[in-house]
C-alpha cells in the first residue's frame, strides 16, 4: 500500500506557488491596489524560498517588470499559464509525500460550488492548473478527480491529523453524491489522513462556504489558532468549533477577528467587470476578513493586516504561537477585497 503524508505548512518549503491577480470580477480597477499588496507578499515569501508566479500571456510583461529584480536573482520564476483567478491555495495541487516521493494531488475544482453556488462559470483553466503545476515541476501527479476539494478547506498537522469544516466539505456544491464518511475516506485516500477533525463552521459570509483556513489553523502538532469573536452568530459558530476541538484534545489559542467589519468602498464597487454568470459584489457584503489566513513560509509567518485596532493584537498572539519564527505583518485589505487573503493566494511546495 502507498504511504501518503501531507506535511504541515511549517515544514521547510522548496518553493511557493502564486498566481498574478488579473480577473476583472475579483480585482477591481485593473487590480492596481491588489497587485501592490501581491508584490509585497511575493517579495516577503521570496526572502526565504523561490516563488513561482503563474501569469497569463497578456500580463506577462507587466509581471516581468513588477518582479524584475527577483527574477534576475532567481527568487521569482514566472510561469506562462492563464488561470481564471488567483487562489493558488485552491487551484494548485495539494502537495504530499507518496511513498516518500513529492507529488501533487489534483482535485476537481469547480469555483467553490459549480452550478449550485460557484463564483464563476468558466473555471476550466483553474481546474487544469494543478495538472500544469505537476508537469511544470516534474513531480508525481495524483489524480483525485472527480473528487471536488480546495486546498483552503483542509489543514494538516503533518502527522496524520487534518482539520476541515462540515460547512464547506458537506456543502451541496462540492460532492453531493457522497456521504460524510465517504468524503472522509477521500481525505484518507488522497492525503493520507489518519484522523479528521470536523469543525462545524467557517467564517460567516465567506464565499468559500467556510474554508477552514479562514477560521482555524494548526500552529503545532497538537495546537491550533482559532478565529474568535465577531457578530453574535459568528461567536456561536466559534463556540461550536471550540467544543469539537476540546473533545479532540487539541490545545486552542484564540485569535480575534478584526474589530470593524470590512466592506467595499464605492470606488471599488464601480471598478469590477463581471463575466456572464459570475457572482457580483454589493455595498452590503461583509468581507470575510480574518487573521487566521496567515501563511507560514521559510521566511516567517505572514499575517494579514486591515488597519484595524486588532491588527497588533493578532501579531502579538502569533508571535507567541510561533516562537522563533519572524512575524511579517502585511497590509492586505486590497487582497480581501478580491475574496480571500494571504493564505488563499499561496500554496507551499515542501522540500
**φ, ψ for residue 131, nearest 5 deg:** -60, -40
CA angle at residue 294 from 275 to 187, to 5 degrees?
Answer: 75
Number of residues counted as binding a copy of itself (CB under 8 A): 25
- The one catalytic residue in 83, 134, 168, 344 is 344
Would you give the end-to-end CA distance of the chain in angstroms? 23
Q: Give the containing element (helix H, strand E) for 100.
A: none
Site string for a copy of itself, 187-226 (x = CB under 8 A): ----------------------------------------
Q: Which of 38, 79, 107, 198 binds a copy of itself (CB under 8 A)?
A: 79
Binding range to a copy of itself, per CB under 8 A, among 79-87, 209-217, 317-325, 331-339: 79-87
Spatial distance between the Cα atoms of 343 and 152, rounded to a whole number of angstroms: 8
Beta carbon nearer to a copy of itself, 120 or 294: 120
Binding range to a copy of itself, per CB under 8 A, among 1-9, 73-81, 187-195, 342-350: 73-81
Map the footprint of a copy of itself across residues 81-100, applying CB under 8 A. Answer: 81-82, 84
Map the footprint of a copy of itself across residues 93-152, applying CB under 8 A. Answer: 106, 108, 122-125, 127-129, 131-132, 135-136, 141, 143, 145-146
DSSP letters for 79-120: EE---SS--HHHHSPEEEEETTEEEEEEEE--TTTHHHH-S-
Does the annotation mark 344 as catalytic? yes
Q: Give the containing element (helix H, strand E) for 125.
A: helix 124-137
Please state, in angstroms and as integers, the Cα–Cα distance from residue 292 to each residue in 183, 219, 316, following that order. Answer: 25, 11, 13
Query: 152: burial class by Cβ within 10 Å (0-12, 13-18, 19+)?
Result: buried
Distance of closest approach, residue 170 Cβ to a copy of itself, in angstroms: 23
324 binds a copy of itself (CB under 8 A): no
User: Strand, coil or helix: what is 289?
Assistant: coil
Distance of closest approach, residue 186 Cβ to a copy of itself, in angstroms: 16
Distance of closest approach, residue 90 Cβ to a copy of itself, in angstroms: 15
Q: Are 341 and 290 in contact (CB under 8 A)?
A: yes
Q: Are 9 and 296 in contact (CB under 8 A)?
A: yes
Q: Which of 1, 57, 100, 232 binds a copy of itself (CB under 8 A)?
A: 57
Name the residues that contact a copy of itself, by CB under 8 A: 56-58, 79-82, 84, 106, 108, 122-125, 127-129, 131-132, 135-136, 141, 143, 145-146
Residues designated catalytic? 344
Amino acid at each position: 500500500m502507498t504511504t501518503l503524508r501531507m506535511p504541515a505548512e511549517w515544514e521547510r518549503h522548496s518553493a511557493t506557488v502564486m498566481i498574478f491577480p488579473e480577473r476583472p470580477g475579483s480585482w477591481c480597477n485593473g487590480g492596481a491596489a491588489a497587485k501592490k499588496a501581491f508584490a509585497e507578499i511575493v517579495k516577503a515569501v521570496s526572502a526565504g524560498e523561490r516563488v513561482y508566479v503563474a501569469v497569463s500571456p497578456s500580463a506577462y510583461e507587466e509581471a516581468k517588470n513588477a518582479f524584475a529584480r527577483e527574477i534576475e536573482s532567481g527568487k521569482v520564476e514566472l510561469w506562462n499559464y492563464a488561470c481564471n483567478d488567483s487562489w493558488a491555495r485552491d487551484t494548485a495541487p495539494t502537495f504530499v509525500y507518496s511513498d516518500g516521493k513529492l507529488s501533487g494531488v489534483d482535485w476537481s475544482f469547480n469555483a467553490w460550488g459549480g452550478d449550485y453556488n460557484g463564483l464563476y462559470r468558466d473555471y476550466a483553466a483553474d481546474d487544469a492548473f494543478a495538472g500544469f503545476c505537476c508537469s511544470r515541476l516534474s513531480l508525481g501527479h495524483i489524480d483525485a478527480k472527480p473528487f471536488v476539494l480546495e486546498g483552503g478547506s483542509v489543514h494538516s498537522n503533518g502527522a496524520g491529523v487534518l482539520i476541515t469544516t462540515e460547512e464547506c466539505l458537506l456543502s451541496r456544491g462540492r460532492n453531493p453524491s457522497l456521504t460524510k464518511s465517504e468524503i472522509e475516506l477521500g481525505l484518507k485516500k488522497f492525503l493520507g489522513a489518519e484522523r479528521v477533525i470536523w469543525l462545524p463552521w467557517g467564517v460567516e459570509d465567506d464565499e468559500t462556504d467556510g474554508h477552514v483556513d479562514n477560521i482555524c489553523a494548526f500552529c503545532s502538532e497538537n495546537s491550533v489558532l482559532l478565529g474568535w469573536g465577531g457578530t453574535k452568530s459568528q461567536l456561536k459558530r466559534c463556540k461550536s468549533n471550540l467544543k469539537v476541538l476540546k473533545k479532540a484534545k487539541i490545545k486552542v489559542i484564540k485569535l480575534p477577528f478584526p474589530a470593524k467589519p470590512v466592506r467595499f468602498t464605492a470606488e471599488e464597487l464601480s471598478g469590477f467587470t463581471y463575466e456572464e454568470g459570475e457572482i457580483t459584489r454589493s455595498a452590503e457584503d461583509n468581507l470575510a476578513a480574518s487573521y487566521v489566513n496567515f501563511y507560514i513560509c521559510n521566511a516567517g509567518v505572514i499575517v494579514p493586516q486591515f488597519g484595524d485596532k486588532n491588527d497588533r493584537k493578532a501579531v502579538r498572539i502569533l508571535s507567541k504561537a510561533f516562537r522563533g519564527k519572524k512575524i511579517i505583518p502585511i497590509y492586505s485589505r486590497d487582497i480581501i477585497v478580491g475574496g480571500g487573503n494571504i493564505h488563499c493566494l499561496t500554496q507551499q511546495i515542501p522540500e
